[in-house]
Every structure is written in structure tokens, then in C-alpha cells.
Amino acid sequence: MGKATGFLEYARVTPGECDALERIKNWDEFSVPLSEEKLREQSARCMDCGTPFCHVGRVLSGMAAGCPLHNLIPEWNDMVFKDNWEVALKRLHKTNNFPEFTSRVCPAPCEGSCTVGMNGQPVAIRSIEKAIVDKGFEMGWIKPEPPLARTGKKVAVVGSGPAGMACAAQLNKAGHTVTVYERADRIGGLLTYGIPNMKLDKKKVQRRVDLLAAEGVEFVTGTEVGRDISADELKAGYDAVVLCGGSTKGRDLQIEGRELSGIYQAMEFLTLNTKSLLDSDLKDGEYLSAAGKDVVVIGGGDTGTDCVGTSLRHGCKSVIQLEIMPQAPATRQPNNPWPEFPKVLKVDYGQVEAKAVYHEDPRRYLVSTKGFVGDGNGHVKELRTVKIEWARNEEGRVVPREVPGSEEVIPAQLVLLALGFTGPEDTAASQFGVERDERTNVKAEYGVHTTNVEGVFAAGDMRRGQSLIVWAISEGRQAAREVDRYLMGSSNLP
């Protein structure tokens, strides 16, 4: 490394943020970039650790440890330290098609497995990654690179989220003619409609889509495979098909009062908001507004946080986030050792903003919702909740138990269910006749990605279930390599 003792000399510093009370007045990204000098210091903290776990990308204790894309993190950190930004960008793009996305919305398992983090604060990997790709666009280094020759083979990619886009990008590099089918009116899948604009500016998504189009990838929007175009038509018209749809069936909460209006899946709330924002700057009113309402978000995680941040920007009266699990510890526990992903308390942007407005963290832990209560006109007005504790039952399984006397009524005119997802939708998978696993995901071996149907492959959340953007991109790349091998007999794709 350029400075072997950098991790001893410099403390971890991450980009600043715009004032919380100011930024909730708009939908803009709010990170304040570090200076290049500060970035050089942060890259100098990457130590010559011999065996970097940051780019291992393994599943330990059910969570990603290190980067599933196997990003060459020490190499591009060294290049930033040496002020060789263009080479850093080349090393970054070698393993990651879309660093402008991952550096904004990935939870950075790389940092959780950073060697410096064993006895201190990890290297600010995600911040450096973001600076590299942003500088690449600013300097004009990122340009369309269409293939020099075409193979004559045609591939259809179903779904334009991170897995589908990565798969299409790689197959196009190999010279195949690629068409991406997307049922929404815009390309990007979760990147466009599942993540709010303040976390990922949609202009940045469209910028990458435009680059891929200039390289020869064809995008078809407003077309749902299985309805607007059949599986048989795709199999007849293409040499291979890759299923890259998402895991989009939201987990529901079937309790008393669920039929009341005012209770929505979180993704419906977020999708309609972003579509209206892009279509009309929210002037068309075609979204679920939290303005003036008591909002309750049931479920934690990134989706719950996005609901909190979006509700605040609407001008909600109040917002509460209910979690059935206990609050995570402030530091790693003995049963969560390095290099596992650190299961520690995370205060994300939505909680920071809610605290700035209401002077307290919106999250309430160990709370179970018992039922919804209506206002007499068919609309929700409040929730009935109870505190729970986790204990072992007679079979030795840890189960929730209600705490007597802990019942509470919480006012709510808008309830958002952020409880995760149960699997992909059935339409396309059923028409293709692909086998499904017990979670209804498409059966396809990891790293091989072939289904039981000849010429049909699967990758991303549709194959592995709800997961991280880095896993989606990784699977899209792997599937592309296997499709290339299937079509050509061998593959030079990474």
C-alpha cells in the first residue's frame, strides 16, 4: 500500500450530510463529498493486511461477509492514495458494473469484514467507491463501449433491476444481442421505484441506462412477460432467456382490521411516490400522501427507513416505526465475531431526520401489532399493540411471548407494512414451467444458474430471494457468463 501506517495515523472520516431539517424539504441526495485530500487520507487507512477479507463475499451466519462482487478494494484504495483516479476507476469497473448504485445503497458488508475494523473503525470503503465513480462521470472517463463484433446470438433478459441490467451489460460485452423486458414504464426495477430519490437520484439510474443503450442493449418497457408477451414467444425468438425479476410479493399481516383502508404495503407507497415525483414533481397527486397523518411503519430494515424518510418529506403529523425484534447492541457481541457482518445498532437517515423533527428515535422495539381499529367509515384510525419478549418454548425454539399489561393503542391514519418479501410473482415463472423451491424462488444452482428448462436461466432475487444489490449484480454477471458458455461453448467473461 502507498502508506503502510495510514490506519494508525488517520481516523475514519465519512462524508457529511446536509442538515436534516433542511433536506426533508426536498427529494435531493444529501451527502456532502469529502475533499480529495481527505479521500487520500481515508484510502491510506487501507492496510497491507495480507489476506483482505473485504472482498471475500461469503455467507457467514446467514449474512454476507465481504463483497459478493469481490471488488478489488485494496487496489483501488492504493490508486486513490497515489492520485491515480482513472486507474482506480478501471479496477472498480472490472468487478462492478454499477458502482454509482452500490456506493449509495449497499450496506457495505465489505466494511464489516475490513481488517482494520477488528480493533477500530473500518476503512470508509463505500465513500471512496462513490468518489471514484462520481469523478469518473465528472471527468468524462465513463463512455459507451459497444462490442467490436456481434455473435449473431440473441438473449432476452426478463427484469431490469440490478441483476437484469448487470446480466445484459455483460452479455452485450460478449457480443450477443440483448433485449431487456421491463413491465414498468421506466428501466431500473428496484433501483428506480423501490428506492427513494434522496437515496439514489433517478438521473443517475437513467444515465447508466443510456450508456447501456448506447452500447447496444435494447430496453422494452411497459411489457410484462407472461401477459403482454408469452414465454413461448421469448423461447422461440431468442437463443436464451434469463429470468431476473425481483422478489416482489410483500409479506402481509393478516390480523383483525386488515381490510380497512389506509393500510398499504411499503413498496406500493414508495413506488407510487417515486413515479409521481418523476412524472410531475408530485403535482399529479397520484401517490399515497402522508401529509398531516399519524404514520406507523411496521417493520425495520432499509424499506422501513425509506418509508420514514418519505413520510417526513410529505409533512406527516407523526411517524413511528415498530419492530418485533429487540434493539441491536451498540458493539459486536461474542457470538458475532469479525469478519461476520456486524449486527449492531444502525441509525440510518430516516431515524436521524425523525429525531430532528420529533426529538426522539421513531423506532419502538419488541412490539407486536394485535389489530387495526377503524374510524367507523372503513378507514384505519389506530393500532392495538402489545410488548413481547423472546423466550424458549418447550421444544427449545425461541418464540415471542406477550408481556401482560403492556397493551397500547397507537393512532394511525396511514399504516405501511415493511415486513420483507416472500418470493417472486408467479406469472412469468409459471409460464416458463421452471421448477420452484420451497420458498417459491426459481430453482437454479448458484454459479450455474440453469433452470430445468433448456435455454432458460435465472439470477438475482428471483433465484435467491430478497437480498442485497451486490448479490443481484454478482448473480447477473455470473448468469451472463453461463449463458455465454451455453451459446458459444466457452466464455471469457469474468
Please give the single-letter amino acid code of residue 302.
D
pLDDT at site 326? 96
**What's the mean pLDDT when you consider all of the chain?**
96
Eight-class DSSP state of 390: E
pLDDT at site 281? 98
User: How many CA within 13 A on the CB side of residue 282?
Assistant: 15
pLDDT at site 147? 98
pLDDT at site 230? 97
Query: Is omega for the bond preceding 400 within 30 degrees of 0, making it cis?
Result: no
pLDDT at site 51? 86
Give how far Cα 310 sits from Cα of 289, 297, 322, Å.
9, 11, 16
Predicted structure pTM score: 0.96
How remote is the C-alpha of 159 from its chain's centroid?
15
User: CA–CA separation, 254 vs 464, rounded Å?
Assistant: 25
pLDDT at site 3? 87
- In 139-254, which residue ranges form alpha helices assigned H by DSSP? 162-173, 202-215, 231-237
Give how far Cα 327 sits from Cα of 20, 36, 367, Å.
23, 37, 11
What are the backbone dihedrals phi and psi of residue 363, each rounded to the nearest 5 degrees, phi first?
-80, 135
Q: Could you tell me if 306 and 196 are in contact, meaning their C-beta atoms sit under 8 angstroms apart?
A: yes
- Joined grid coordinates for residue 72: 478489488
Per-residue pLDDT reduced to its tens digit, 102-144: 999 999 999 999 999 998 999 999 999 999 999 999 999 999 9
Per-residue pLDDT reduced to its tens digit, 149-180: 999 999 999 999 999 999 999 999 999 999 99
Q: Domains in the chain, start-ordered, CATH in brackets?
A: 6-138 (1.10.1060.10), 154-248+422-488 (3.50.50.60), 252-419 (3.50.50.60)
pLDDT at site 87? 98
pLDDT at site 48? 83
Ranges in the chain, pLDDT < 50: none
Q: Could you tell me if 238 and 253 are in contact, meaning their C-beta atoms sit under 8 angstroms apart?
A: no
253, exposed or middle or buried, with CB in 10 Å at 0-12, 13-18, 19+? Answer: middle
Tell the residue number behind the cell numbers 418509508, with chain if given: 307
pLDDT at site 300? 87
